[in-house]
Amino acid sequence: MTKSEAHLSDIATPQLSAGLGLRSAHVGEIMQTLPKVGWFELLTDNHLVKGGRAKAEAYAIREHYPVSLHCVNMSIGSTDPINWDYLSGIKTLSNDLQPWVISDHLCWTSIHGQYSHELLPMPYTEESVMHIAERIRSIQDFLGRRIAIENVSTYLNFNHATLTEAEFVSSVVTEADCDFLFDVNNLYVSHKNTGEDIANYLKEVPWNRVVEMHLAGFDVRQKGNNEYLLDTHSCPVSDDVWTLYKQVLKHSGNVPTLIEWDNSIPEWSTLYQEMQKIIRIQSNEDS
C-alpha cells in the first residue's frame, strides 16, 4: 500500500456526524482553513469530467476529508437499459476517491436515450418495486458495493398506484438489499404536495438501512389557485423541516446528516452555521 493509499483509507468514514455538499466557490476557503466537517458530498456529474478544476477539486478535498458520491443520472427507475458507460465512470471515480457512500435516487431521469436531468416520479406499484430492485442489484454487483437510494420530492400521485410512498421505499430497500438515504426535506415536500402521511411513513422506514440523511430548503410556489412546495435547495432549511428532523432522530438515533444547498449558494460561513445546527440537535443542545 502506498503512503497516499494508507492516508485515504484512514479517513474513509466521517468522524463527525454532519456534512456539507461541496461547492466550487468554497473550495479555496476550505483548503486554507480545513474546517471541522464530517465529510463533503460530491455531486458526481460535476467531477465526471476529463480534467480541469472540477476534477482537481474532488481529489484535493479527498486528501483531507471523507467524501460521498451523490449521483443523479443512474436513472435507476428507467425502463431503458442501464448506462454502463456512465456507471464505469462512476466506478473509476469511486475507486480513486473511496467514498464512504455512493447514492442516487428512487426515480427515473431518462427514457429512449434522452435525459431529463430531473428526478421524475415512479408510480408506487409492485411492478416498480421489482423493476427498480433488480436494477439496483445489478448496479451494486457492478460497483462491488451497496448503494444508498434516496426518496425524492414528489408533485403528483399516480392514480393507479397501489402502495404508499413509504411502503414503496421499504419494499425496494428490502428487495434490493441496498441502503437508504433519507431526505427529510423531501418527505416534508411530498407530504405537503401529495398528502403523504408522515406518521405512517416513519413507521415504515427501514431504519437499520438508513446510512445518511439529507436536509435542504424549498421554495413556496403558486400554480393556479394552488400552492405547492418546490425542492430547490436554494435557501436555509425551514423550521418545519428542522422540527421533523428532530422527530425523525427519535426513530433513527443519530445518523450522518448533510446540508444540501445547490442554488443561490451562500457564503461559506452561512453554510457552515447551517451544518452546526445538525451537531447541536444531535447532541441535544437544541431541543
Partner 1 sequence: MKTVKHSDHSDLRLPELQTLFWQAILQPVMHSDSVDQTNLKGLVDSDAMAIYQDTVQTAHVEALKTSYPKIYALLGEQVFKGLARGYFINYPPTEPNLIAYGGRFPEWLKQAKNDVLPITQLFQKIDLSLLAQFEWAFEQGYYSEDKQFSEKDLQVLSNTEPQNIRFKIHPAIKLFYFNSNLVSVIEAELVNVVTTLKKQNPIKVSPPYLKPVVVFRDGWKMEWLKLSREEAAILQGVQNGSRWNTLSQLDGYEERVLEEWLKLGWIVQIEQIL
E-strand stretches of the chain = 18-21, 40-43, 67-70, 101-105, 108-111, 114-120, 148-150, 179-183, 210-216, 219-223, 226-230, 257-260
Q: How far apart are CA 79 and CA 63, in angstroms?
A: 38
Q: Which is nearer to partner 1, 53 or 280 (CB)?
A: 53
Classify burial at 116, counting beta carbons within 10 Å of its beta carbon; exposed 0-12, middle 13-18, buried 19 or more.
middle
Asked if 255 is part of the footprint of partner 1 (rule: CB under 8 A), the reply reads: no
Q: Which is nearer to partner 1, 41 or 274 (CB)?
A: 41
Please identify, among the stretches 30-38, 133-141, 164-172, 177-185, the one whose residues bind partner 1 according to the rule CB under 8 A: 164-172
C-alpha 145: how far from chain center: 17
Q: Which is nearer to partner 1, 74 or 275 (CB)?
A: 74
Site for partner 1 in 208-237 (CB under 8 A): 223-224, 226, 228, 230
17 Cβ contact partners less than 8 Å away, ≥ 6 residues apart: 38, 254, 255, 256, 257, 278, 279, 282
What is the pattern of x (binds partner 1, CB under 8 A) and - over residues 82-101? -x--x---------------
Q: Which is nearer to partner 1, 172 or 213 (CB)?
A: 172
Q: How far apart are CA 40 and CA 31, in angstroms?
A: 12
Asked if 78 is part of the footprint of partner 1 (rule: CB under 8 A), the reply reads: yes
Nearest to 101 by CA among 67, 127, 74: 67
Shortest approach of partner 1 to residue 247 CB, angstroms? Answer: 23
Contact with partner 1 (CB under 8 A) among 68, 110, 151, 186:
110
Q: Which is nearer to partner 1, 35 or 123 (CB)?
A: 123
Number of residues that bind partner 1 (CB under 8 A): 54
Contact with partner 1 (CB under 8 A) among 29, 167, 175, 219:
167
Distances (CA, A) of 198 to 95, 180, 218, 257: 38, 17, 18, 19
Asked if 207 is part of the footprint of partner 1 (rule: CB under 8 A), the reply reads: no
Amino acid identity of 55? K
Asked if 31 is part of the footprint of partner 1 (rule: CB under 8 A), the reply reads: no
Contact with partner 1 (CB under 8 A) among 16, 161, 235, 279:
161
* Strand duo 219-223 + 210-216: pairing: unpaired
Please identify, among the stretches 10-18, 73-81, 138-146, 245-253, the one whose residues bind partner 1 according to the rule CB under 8 A: 73-81
Asked if 195 is part of the footprint of partner 1 (rule: CB under 8 A), the reply reads: no
Please provide the size of the chain in residues: 287
Cβ atoms 71, 88 nearer than 8 A? no
Shortest approach of partner 1 to residue 226 CB, angstroms? Answer: 7
Contact with partner 1 (CB under 8 A) among 15, 49, 203, 285:
49
For partner 1, the binding residues (CB under 8 A) are 45-46, 48-56, 73, 75, 78-79, 83, 86, 108-118, 120-121, 123-124, 126-128, 131, 155-164, 167, 171, 193, 223-224, 226, 228, 230
